[in-house]
Amino acid sequence: MNALIILCGLILAIVLIIFIRDFTQKKNSVIRNFPVMGHFRYILIKLGAPIRQYLIASNREELPFNRSQRNWIDNSADGDNNYEGFGTDKDLYNPGHVFINPKMFPYVPDEGHVNIKDPSFIPCAKVIGSHRNRKEPFRPYSVVNISAMSYGSLSANAHTALNKGAALVGCYHNTGEGGLSPYHQLGGDVVFHIGTGYYGCGITKDGKRYFDLEAFKKLALDKYSKVRAIEVKLSQGAKPGKGGVLPASKNTKEIAAIRGVEPHTDVLSPNHHTAFSNVREMVDFIEYLANETGLPVGIKSAVGDLGAWEELAEIMKQENKGPDFITIDGGEGGTGAAPPSFADHVALPLVFGFSEVYGVFQKAGVANNLVWGASGKLGFPSELLKIFAMGADFINVAREAMMAIGCIQAQECQTGHCPTGIATQSKRLQRGLDPEFKKLRFARYINTLRKETLQMTHACGYEHPCQIKMKDVDVSCGDNNRTVTLEHAYGYVKDEVEFESMNDVFECSYLGGLEKKENIMNRVKH
C-alpha cells in the first residue's frame, strides 16, 4: 500500500514538473497553452505517418495543405533539413503537375555578386509607381511578402511575430482591411490595405462607411510610418462579392478603437465601396489617393467576369491613369471564414484568373506598365516560379506565413478558438505564441523559400525569377503522358521584364527593407 502511494506521488510529481515546464516554455504554442495534454498531439503525429500509410491518407492527399507541404514549411521555419530521402512520393504523371525545365548549363554568380553575400536576396524586378511618376515609388526588397490579414482576424502576437520577422528578411506586411495597428509598425515595410469598411481611415454616417482622407493621412503619412504603398481591396479569393465579418467575440476595445467601430459588436464589411461604384470612378479614386499621398496605389481582386478589367485596361491605355500594381487573389485562398458556397464556387482559381486578366492588359499593350502580384497557395518554390513565368512580379503568402509561426491547420479560424494563438483574440490562447521566437521561424521560412527559388532559377540559367519564360515550365496533361508548356496551355507569351542585374537592383534608391539592406552592407564591410 505504501509503495502504491509513493508511486502515485511520484507520478503526480512528474506530471507537475512537466506542467510547470510546459507552462513556462516559449518554443511551442500548443504545449504552452495545453500543458501535459498538448504532448499527445505530437505523439499522435509520430504515429500518424504509418497509420495514414495503410488506413487514411497519404502525405499528398490532404487539403487545403497536405502533410508534405506543411512539413516543408515547418522544417524550413525550424531551420531543419527539409530534404526527402529515397525519391519523391508524388505522382509525377498527375494532371497539372509542374515541371521546371533546367538548362544544361546553369547561371553561376560571380565573386562580387550580392547573392554570394545573401543567397536569399530576391527583390522585385520592377519599381512600383515609377511608370506614373509617383512621388514615393517603392521597390519591394522581397518578391515574397505577407498577404492581407487584419488585426482582428489574427492576434496581436501573430502580427507582432510577422512584422518583426518581415523586418529581419526585408519583406513587406500588408495590413489587411482592419487598418494600421501598432503591431504592423515594428520594423517591417507596410502596405496599407483599404477595404470596403475603410477601417482606420473612414467615418460612419447614416449607417454607412465613408473614406476619410485626413484620417488616412494621419496614419499613413506619420513621420514614423513605414507605409510604402496603398492597396485598394475590391474582393478577395475566399469570398469575392461578399464583405468580411469580424464576430463580436473578436472585436475587442483595442480593435474597435483601431477600426473606428463599436466594441463587442459584429463588424460586417459591405460588399462594395462608397468611394466609387464603377471603373471610371475607381480610377479617379486611385489617382486622388496617389496625388494626395505621393504613394503608389494598387488594387486587389479575385477574378470572374472580365468586362470591368477590359474597361480598366482601355482607360489605362488611353489616359495612362489607374493602378500602379494589381494583385490577383485566387479563389482557392482564404485565411478567415467564408461560406462554403463562396469558397468552393465563386471566382476563378489563381492560375486561371491571373492568365485571363494578364491577357486582357497585354492585349491592350499595358501589361508591362503594371507591377503584378499574386496570392493563393504560392508559398513553395515551384509554385512561385510557375506564377512568375506567367507574368507575376511578386507574391503574397498568408496561410503559409501562419504555418511558419505555428498554425497547425486546425481550421478553427472562424471560431476564435485557434489552439496556437494565431487566429484568436483570446488572451489565454495568445499567450502560447511568443513573438520573439516565432519571428525567427517566419524569417527562416521566407529565407528558405527565396533561397530555394533562386537555386531553381539558376538551374534554369537565369539570374532572377522575372526572367523565367513560359516555355521554361511544363504542366502535365494527364493524357498519354503528355506535357505542354505554360505558353501552350494558356495561349500567350508574357511580356519581357527589363532587368539589369541583382547588384544594380541592390543599389536602387527605392529599394525597401532598409534595415535588412543595412545589415547586409555591414556584413560586407566586416
Task: State pLDDT tens for residues 61-113.
Answer: 777 888 888 889 999 999 988 887 777 777 787 888 899 999 999 999 999 99
Q: Which of 145, 222, 213, 143 is nearest to 182 (CA)?
A: 222
Mean pLDDT for the chain?
89
Domain presence at residue 86: yes
- Write down how long the chain is: 526
Give the model's pLDDT for residue 49: 56
311: Cβ–Cβ under 8 A, 6 or more apart, which residues? 279
Answer left, alpha or beta for residue 34, where phi above 0 means left and psi between -120 and 50 means alpha.
beta
- What whole-number distance in Å separates Cα of residue 444 and Cα of residue 458? 21
- Same-domain pairing of 331 and 403: yes
Task: State pLDDT tens for residues 391-439.
Answer: 999 999 999 999 999 998 888 887 788 999 999 999 999 999 999 999 9
CB 322 within 8 A of CB 358: no
* Omega of the bond leading into 64 within 30 degrees of 0 (cis): yes
Give the model's pLDDT for residue 364: 97
C-alpha cell of 388? 512568375
Q: For the chain, how many structural domains are there in total?
A: 2
358: Cβ–Cβ under 8 A, 6 or more apart, which residues? 367, 372, 390, 391, 492, 494
Give the model's pLDDT for residue 524: 45
Domain presence at residue 518: no
- Looking at 434, 460, 486, the residue that finishes a domain is 460
Percent with pLDDT over 70 in the chain: 91
Give the model's pLDDT for residue 525: 44
Q: Which of 190, 208, 207 is nearest to 138 (CA)?
A: 190
Domain presence at residue 484: no
Domain presence at residue 199: yes
- What whole-number distance in Å separates Cα of residue 370 and Cα of residue 128? 8
Q: Which of 328, 472, 319, 312 is nearest to 394 (CA)?
A: 328
- Same-domain pairing of 267 and 376: yes
Task: State pLDDT tens for residues 183-228.
Answer: 999 999 999 999 999 998 999 888 889 999 999 999 888 877 899 9
Q: Which of 523, 524, 512, 522 is nearest to 169 (CA)?
A: 512
Residue 424 carries which side chain, given as an amino acid letter? T
- Same-domain pairing of 56 and 135: no
Domain presence at residue 479: no
- What whole-number distance in Å separates Cα of residue 342 and Cα of residue 64? 15
Per DSSP bridges, beta strands 297-301 and 483-485 are: unpaired
- pLDDT of residue 246 exceeding 50, the answer is yes
- Looking at 92, 120, 137, the residue that finishes a domain is 92
- Same-domain pairing of 454 and 355: yes
Q: Which of 408, 423, 429, 413 is nearest to 154 (CA)?
A: 423
- What whole-number distance in Å separates Cα of residue 430 and Cα of residue 418? 9
- Same-domain pairing of 138 and 273: yes
- Same-domain pairing of 368 and 229: yes
User: Using the 8-state DSSP alphabet, how is residue 498 labeled?
Assistant: P
Cell 476595445 sits on residue:
253
Domain presence at residue 512: no
Cell 470612378 sits on residue:
281
- pLDDT of residue 56 exceeding 70, the answer is no
CA distances 170 to 18, 76, 166, 181, 503, Å, are: 38, 18, 6, 19, 16
79: Cβ–Cβ under 8 A, 6 or more apart, which residues? 444
Residue 334 — very low, low, confident or very high, per pLDDT cuts 50/70/90?
low
Question: Helix (H) and strand (E) counts for the chain?
Answer: 19, 15
**361/65: higher pLDDT:** 361
- Same-domain pairing of 134 and 61: no
- Same-domain pairing of 163 and 307: yes
- Same-domain pairing of 366 and 430: yes
Residue 28 carries which side chain, given as an amino acid letter? N
- Same-domain pairing of 257 and 155: yes
C-alpha cell of 394? 511578386
CATH value at residue 143: 3.20.20.70
Give CA torsion, residues 508, 509, 513, 516, to 10 deg. Answer: 70
Query: Computed from CA positions of residues 38, 42, 47, 48, in that sequence, does the dihedral angle turn out positive or negative?
Result: positive
Beta-ladder partners of 194: 232
- Same-domain pairing of 70 and 136: no
- Looking at 35, 66, 92, the residue that finishes a domain is 92
- What whole-number distance in Å separates Cα of residue 189 and Cα of residue 174? 9
Give the mean pLDDT of 179-185.
94
Percent with pLDDT over 90 in the chain: 61
| Global pTM value | 0.88
Domain that holds residue 311: 129-460
- How many Cα neighbours within 13 Å face the side chain of 511? 23
Cell 523586418 sits on residue:
167
- Same-domain pairing of 34 and 149: no
C-alpha cell of 178? 482592419
